[in-house]
Amino acid sequence: MKKEEFIKRIPQELQEKIGLQRFKISLIKCLNKKQVDKAKLLLDFQCEKIFSDLNLQTKEKSVNYLKETLKKFLVKENIKDFEVIDEKALKVTHRITFQNLLEEAIEKQKKIFEAKLEALKKQGIDTNIKVDSTQGAYVAILKKVNENFGLNYDISDLNLEKVQEFCDKLNSTYVRHLKSVFNSANKKNDKIINWFARIEKSTYDKFSKINKEINIFYYNEIEKILNNISVEEQYYFKTLLLTGMRNDELASIKKENIKNNTFYFYDSKSYFNKIVPIHKDLLDFINEKVKTLKDDEYLFFQNNKGKSRVNHIRYDRFNSRQCFKSIGKTLHKTRSTFVTYLNFFKSDFSEKDITSLTHKLSGQDQESYNKTLNISRLKKIIDSIDLKKIDIIQDQIENFNYQLEEVED
């Protein structure tokens, strides 16, 4: 008989504690195929006991536990699980767990993201700070699945009621990801039911737009923040407010991206070329800063590098600060503020120019627009921004029910 082994992947959250990524037990002493199959099923059951018993979750104890189980099986002593194994053998052999689907999705997303990074590198895009948010979401969802359903949860035990109850605890982004994961699984195996495509919106999603929290910074809030952060952080914050750039876009700006008082960069979602003039109130600081930099150095926070750069800037330097927490708004609201401002005060400017600056052109339209771009017109729009005039918008919101436009990430 060929060499047989029992191999079982250890859940990611237990790998460090147990000290292994997987269990690997030789089944060479099994006499035939039937015995091998039963041994594998028994060891699989015992793995579930290890994953749920804190006392077994060390490398030595867990491996010895499995080896001892196998030894007892082979000498036909204390085998109480045989009837269970025989009864459920077919089901267990073909069992697909919730965790299986998410782990497969994570591995698939890793490959997709790696290919994406390679393509971006060829375009000259700085990929050093790029983080795969989709993979991060999958990992977070997997943790919630483990907490809610337990480890190795058989998807055949899912039903609409259980899925609805679970989704009511999740944000809409996670639910969309689960719909996508199960949709892909269903295409491969039509016996897998995509319950997530059948659920109703959560109570939160149904009523989230009623009395929706104002999603822009008011001028008094901007002043409060500026009075409680460093000079470099002040200019970073103001640059976001006065350009509408996403945090990861500004975080990626280097000296080489600045020419003729203008930012040249790639849209961080669709990777087309973007051109945004620098506001007159920022020029002195930025031009002086540029004089001290090498071409490949970041404009802001040079010492923060690598994959954690964007999140470090977003959270450690801004969102975690009391001046942000006290008003209940995050750095992302700078983008909403910029878009709302330009749409409110746009009457004197070209609609196409406004649409470009508010990031609403598609990649193809933006590239076409860039060919006939008049930077002086964009410069005039950018320099017209006076943050104090946000008070006018605030008055319209609070007293005349002015409706804010939804701003995409």
Give the chain's length.
409
DSSP H or E stretch at residue 262: strand 262-266
Query: What is the structure's pLDDT at 92?
Result: 52
Check whether 219 has a pLDDT greater than 90.
yes
Top pLDDT among 368 and 55 is at 55
DSSP H or E stretch at residue 340: helix 333-344
Q: Average pLDDT in the 129-151 region?
A: 88
In terms of average pLDDT, the best of 199-208, 312-321, 349-358 is: 312-321
CA distances from 338 to 48, 332, 341 (A): 53, 11, 5
When pLDDT is cut at 50, 70 and 90, the band that residue 116 belongs to is confident
Query: What is the structure's pLDDT at 78?
Result: 42
Instruction: Give the lowest-confidence range in 113-122, 136-145, 184-193.
Output: 113-122
Query: What is the structure's pLDDT at 307?
Result: 77
Q: What sign has the CA pseudo-torsion 251, 255, 261, 263?
A: negative
When pLDDT is cut at 50, 70 and 90, the band that residue 131 belongs to is confident
Q: What sign has the CA pseudo-torsion 193, 194, 198, 203?
A: positive
Give the predicted TM-score (pTM) of the model: 0.62
Check whether 25 has a pLDDT greater than 90.
yes
Provide the token pair at 57.
């979750």
Q: Average pLDDT in the 23-49 region?
A: 89
The type of residue at 233 is: E
Check whether 271 has a pLDDT greater than 80.
no
Going along the chain from its start, the domains and CATH numbers come out as 5-93 (no CATH), 98-207 (no CATH), 219-400 (1.10.443.10)
In 3D space, the residue among 231, 230, 409 whose CA is nearest the CA of residue 331 turns out to be 409
Query: What is the structure's pLDDT at 166?
Result: 92
When pLDDT is cut at 50, 70 and 90, the band that residue 10 belongs to is very high
CA distance 302 to 53: 47
Phi-psi region of 32 (alpha: psi -120 to 50; beta: other; left: phi over 0): beta
Check whether 79 has a pLDDT greater than 70.
no
In terms of average pLDDT, the best of 79-93, 228-242, 391-405 is: 228-242
Top pLDDT among 237 and 172 is at 237
Task: Please enumerate in sequence order all residues whose Cβ is within 8 A of that of 10, keeping only pairs 6 or more positions apart, or say none.
Answer: 18, 20, 21, 22, 23, 51
Burial (0-12, 13-18, 19+ Cβ within 10 Å), 55:
exposed
Query: What is the structure's pLDDT at 370?
Result: 54
Query: What is the structure's pLDDT at 2?
Result: 64
pLDDT, tens digit, 9 for 90 and up, residues 38-68: 899 999 999 999 999 999 999 999 999 999 9
Return the bridge partners of 22, or none.
Answer: 9
Query: What is the structure's pLDDT at 201?
Result: 62
Instruction: Give the lowest-confidence range in 55-64, 387-396, 399-408.
Output: 399-408
Check whether 81 has a pLDDT greater than 50.
no
Check whether 91 has a pLDDT greater than 90.
no
Top pLDDT among 379 and 200 is at 379
When pLDDT is cut at 50, 70 and 90, the band that residue 367 belongs to is low
Q: Average pLDDT in the 300-307 region?
A: 84
In terms of average pLDDT, the best of 125-129, 153-157, 226-230, 294-298 is: 226-230
